[in-house]
């Protein structure tokens, strides 16, 4: 299956600037439904009427339950980077510093964020 094959299907995409929107525009996937969060895209996909992009970690439970499947995951995917930021002043609270430490530890153990 390739991009031309996907264009024959109804596509559900995010309605704000994201890698999801960029890639769908680059390959001219005709968006037939718009969602503004992953939950709405998942609901549209689960309806059985739409294809769409979801982050691997979000789709994993649906895939394990055989409610969704990835189509050509080596081809139809994109990567996202997330950044955590805090203000310099006032200094971050103890709770904020603890949260930052947890994020660092979690992503050092698994730098790609996957399972």
pLDDT tens readout for residues 71-95: 888 777 766 777 888 888 999 999 9
- pLDDT exceeds 90 at position 7: no
- What value does the CA radius of gyration of the chain take, rounded to a whole number of Å? 17
Q: Is 48 left (phi over 0), alpha (psi -120 to 50) or beta?
A: left
- pLDDT exceeds 90 at position 9: no
Q: Which residue has the higher pLDDT, 39 or 108?
A: 39
Least confident among 5-14, 35-44, 60-69, 72-81: 72-81
Task: Tell me how far apart the 2 most distant CA atoms of the chain are, in Å.
Answer: 53
Tally of structural domains, the chain: 1
Query: What is the share, in percent, of the chain residues with pLDDT greater than 90?
Result: 35
User: Does any domain span residue 74?
Assistant: no
User: Does any domain span residue 95?
Assistant: no
User: Does any domain span residue 87?
Assistant: no
Residue range(s) defining the domain that contains residue 46 = 3-64
User: Does any domain span residue 14?
Assistant: yes
User: Does any domain span residue 86?
Assistant: no
Question: Which pLDDT does position 112 carry in this prediction?
Answer: 55
pLDDT tens, position by position, 27-50:
777 888 999 999 999 999 999 999
Question: Which pLDDT does position 78 carry in this prediction?
Answer: 67
Question: Which pLDDT does position 109 carry in this prediction?
Answer: 65
Question: Which pLDDT does position 50 carry in this prediction?
Answer: 94
Gap between the Cα atoms of 35 and 109, Å rounded? 33
User: Does any domain span residue 59?
Assistant: yes
């Amino acid at each position: 299956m390739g991009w031309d094959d996907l264009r024959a299907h109804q596509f559900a995409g995010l309605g704000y600037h994201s890698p999801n929107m960029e890639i769908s525009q680059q390959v001219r996937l005709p968006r037939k439904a718009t969602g503004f969060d992953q939950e709405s895209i998942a609901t549209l996909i689960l309806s059985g009427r739409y294809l769409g992009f979801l982050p691997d970690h979000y789709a994993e439970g649906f895939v394990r339950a055989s409610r969704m499947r990835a189509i050509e995951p080596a081809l139809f995917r994109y990567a996202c980077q997330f950044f955590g930021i805090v203000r310099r002043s006032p200094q971050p609270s103890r709770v904020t510093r603890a949260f930052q430490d947890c994020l660092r530890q979690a992503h050092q153990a698994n730098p790609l964020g996957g399972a």
